[in-house]
Structure 1
Amino acid sequence: MTPAAPPRLAGQPATLVIDGRVETGRAVLLPRGELVHGCADILAEALATLPADIERVEVDMAGVVFMDTAGLEFLDILGGHGRRQAVPVTTANWRGQPLRILELAGLDPADPLRTDRPRTAGHPSAPTAGLPAGRQPGPESAPAPSAVAAERSERLRVLQEEVAQLRRAIASRPVIDQARGVLMALHACTSDEAWHILREASQLSNTKLRTVAAAVTASAESDGPPPPAEVRSALRTALGRLGR
């Protein structure tokens, strides 16, 4: 196929950029960054720039490194575009944390835009396979609407909780990595050994891992304060178990 002029499809926020190329009858979008608040607007802007004669839209998600519940709105925008334009829209190459979010949301990573996924047993719109001919499922075969709503609410709660945990882990990683470097330099240990020292010190002192890491990093600076007594004791114990 002959490539057309490939416009740069980008939004203003630095968290997400959507590049793309347009070929005869086919558009390929390449989002890079995070699917967070505002990502749906960036996608809508990108889709609006596509030529009217596009027959297929493919979205390569390999460049997306983080996704929260706003990513589900991103998918809604994609699906809505396909329905309005009557063209197939597909996504591919989900990986890492965004892949986990799709799984938690109950979506098929191979085709999260599919709207005719088979229902699970007990769902109000589950198929009637296995029932005698002419017999419809009775009230006992489908949960009440309130039960369905409660299940969806719980799934969303778990999804939001995991996103929050991942955000905290991402925010904590720099100081933890710095502390590992300090321990490696001071005690001639490996990166994995430094990680185990920090984790064990956290458990022994009943102190958050990030707090232990911050104390270790601060103590390595010129005139930096030593770690609190309970953290120092826990670090000594952890180092001793590794023979340091």
Structure 2
Amino acid sequence: MTFAAPPPYSGRLNTLVIGGRMDADRALLTPRGELVHGCADALAEKLAQLPASTARVDVDMSGVHFMDTSALQFLDVLRDFGHRRRLPVTATRWNGQPRRILELAGLDTTDPLNSPTPARPAPLASAVAQERAEQLHVLQEEIEQLRHAIASRPVIDQARGILMATHGCTSDEAWHVLREASQRSNTKLREIAAAVTAGATPDGPRPPEKLRQALSRALSRHRSGAGGGPGRGRVS
């Protein structure tokens, strides 16, 4: 028996789709995509479709390539389902970024549903709760940084291509020029790249004076270091 996947969430490029099949009385679920906001609801809907005769649920997580702290709700839904139905539930085969998040959260990367939760005295439990909250905050910051890096990558790659075509530098040299200009002008790398990209169009705005000077100095230094002699011109 195979279960139909739920429709993808609107407005997202990377969605969570949960496939499933029955092997006798064992259900095998196969999530694909991201564990983000809404993933717990999608899982609850999928679990509600399982036959009453289901005696075991195994979730293969190898198709999940990204997750944020919403994954903890996803795991809670799985755990609660197993407790309510009194049947074994596993979530295995984690890899990549999701596995790293489990490590940072102090969970078992083989199967986080098996992570022990021993009884603790009240003061210690409070300290553990505070530590867990701090860990979640760190996770959220790391995830936000990853999302910013992913969003910034296209414009940075475009700026590198423009510098390579305009000034005859290599891809690595263009990267170092952007980084050095960012440091010299105390400007975010993405803003430097966006200014270079916008200024490359015929009617595009010129980069601010501070950025032009920082880019020109970085280009001059890298041309001198490469022994390339005079370049093809200053940043316009």
Structure 2 length as normaliser, TM-score?
A: 0.81
* 1:100-136 CA-partner distances (Å, limit 9, x unpaired): 221221112111111426x7xxx937xxxxxxxxxxx
Partner of 1:47: 47
Number of residues paired by the alignment?
A: 220
Cα deviation for residue 95 of structure 1 reads 2.6
Partner of 2:19: 19
Q: What amino acid sits opposite 2:9 in the alignment?
A: P
The answer to whether the 8 A contact 1:11-1:45 is kept is no
Alignment pair present for 1:204 and 2:184: yes
Q: Determine the C-alpha separation between the residues in 2 that align with 1:180 and 1:86.
A: 57
Partner of 1:81: 81
Structure 1 length as normaliser, TM-score?
A: 0.79
Q: Determine the C-alpha separation between the residues in 1 that align with 2:179 and 2:113.
A: 40
> In 2 relative to 1, CA 221–110 (structure 1 residues): closer, same or farther, beyond 3 Å?
same
- Of the three residues 129, 132, 153, the one matched with 1:173 is 153
Q: Determine the C-alpha separation between the residues in 2 that align with 1:46 and 1:82.
A: 14
Structure 1: any 5+ residue segments left out of the alignment? 126-141
Cα deviation for residue 163 of structure 1 reads 2.1
Partner of 1:240: 220
The structure that is helix-richer by fraction is 2
Q: Determine the C-alpha separation between the residues in 2 that align with 1:21 and 1:187.
A: 57
The answer to whether the 8 A contact 1:18-1:29 is kept is yes
Cα deviation for residue 152 of structure 1 reads 2.2
Q: What amino acid sits opposite 1:8 in the alignment?
A: A
Partner of 1:124: 120
> In 2 relative to 1, CA 23–36 (structure 1 residues): closer, same or farther, beyond 3 Å?
same
Partner of 1:159: 139
The answer to whether the 8 A contact 2:60-2:91 is kept is yes
> CA RMSD for the aligned pairs?
2.4
The answer to whether the 8 A contact 1:69-1:160 is kept is yes
Q: Determine the C-alpha separation between the residues in 1 that align with 2:21 and 2:176.
A: 46
Q: Determine the C-alpha separation between the residues in 1 that align with 2:180 and 2:94.
A: 34
Give aligned-pair identity as a percent: 63
> In 2 relative to 1, CA 63–178 (structure 1 residues): closer, same or farther, beyond 3 Å?
farther
Cα deviation for residue 23 of structure 1 reads 2.2
Partner of 2:101: 101
Structure 2: any 5+ residue segments left out of the alignment? 224-230, 232-236
The answer to whether the 8 A contact 1:16-1:33 is kept is yes
Alignment pair present for 1:56 and 2:56: yes
Q: Determine the C-alpha separation between the residues in 2 that align with 1:63 and 1:171.
A: 22
Alignment pair present for 1:149 and 2:129: yes
Cα deviation for residue 43 of structure 1 reads 0.7
